[in-house]
């Protein structure tokens, strides 16, 4: 497995791939680490295209990815992860929406567990999955990072965007 690390507006990202495709995207802090990292070999050239596409995303110049992907998981996890790729840039779906899309409408908890194990966040946009009430829930990189990604895409749920605007106004008033 080859890897590369590079700085982004959300901190250091680590990406890893093998001959099958991109296997991992890791944030500065992750709920679940990738197995076998000590055997990975650094090769920035092998991951140039993935790095460039991710940097384009953070610059606001890319809304979808064109990379060979090879996430490893159970058949259900892989089905959930493929469904994540259908969530449009700038949109959010609920866990219930994902469960319905995979044909298991009562499996919202299982969808949440699969979402939490997504080895390719951002590219398979698990940050676009929110609670059915519009709340930000669980994210392997932490909720502040999820909020930043949704803000970058202009997809922050309305009640949270309004709250952020109020906080910004109040912070400005406090400085005056």
Query: What pTM was estimated for this model as a whole?
Result: 0.86
* 80, 35 Cβ separation under 8 angstroms: no
Q: What is the mean pLDDT for each group of 10 consecutive residues in the chain (176 residues)? A: 94 95 91 86 95 96 96 96 95 95 94 94 95 84 89 80 48 46
pLDDT at 163 (0 to 100): 53
* 47, 68 Cβ separation under 8 angstroms: no
pLDDT at 141 (0 to 100): 83
pLDDT at 137 (0 to 100): 85
148 is catalytic: no
**CA atoms of 3 and 25, how far apart (whole Å):** 10
pLDDT at 56 (0 to 100): 97
Catalytic residue selected from 16, 17, 126, 150: 126
Calculate the CA 148 to chain-centre distance: 11
pLDDT at 169 (0 to 100): 46
**Residue corresponding to tokens 């779906």:** 93
49: enclosing H helix or E strand: helix 48-58
**CA atoms of 113 and 95, how far apart (whole Å):** 10
């Amino acid at each position: 497995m080859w890897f590369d690390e590079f700085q982004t507006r959300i901190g250091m990202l680590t990406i890893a791939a093998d001959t099958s495709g991109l296997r991992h995207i890791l944030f500065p802090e992750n709920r679940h680490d990738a197995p076998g990292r000590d055997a990975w070999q650094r090769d920035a050239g092998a991951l140039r295209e993935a790095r460039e596409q991710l940097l384009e995303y953070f610059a606001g110049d890319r809304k979808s990815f064109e990379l060979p992907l090879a996430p490893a998981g159970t058949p259900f996890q892989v089905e959930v992860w493929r469904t994540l790729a259908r969530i449009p840039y700038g949109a959010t779906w609920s866990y219930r929406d994902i469960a319905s899309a995979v044909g298991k409408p009562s499996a919202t908890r299982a969808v949440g567990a699969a979402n939490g194990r997504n080895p390719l966040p951002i590219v398979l946009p698990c940050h676009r999955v929110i609670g059915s009430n519009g709340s930000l829930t669980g994210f392997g990189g932490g909720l502040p990072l999820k909020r930043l990604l949704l803000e970058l895409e202009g997809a922050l749920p309305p009640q949270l965007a309004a709250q952020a605007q109020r906080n910004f106004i109040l912070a400005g008033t406090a400085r005056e």
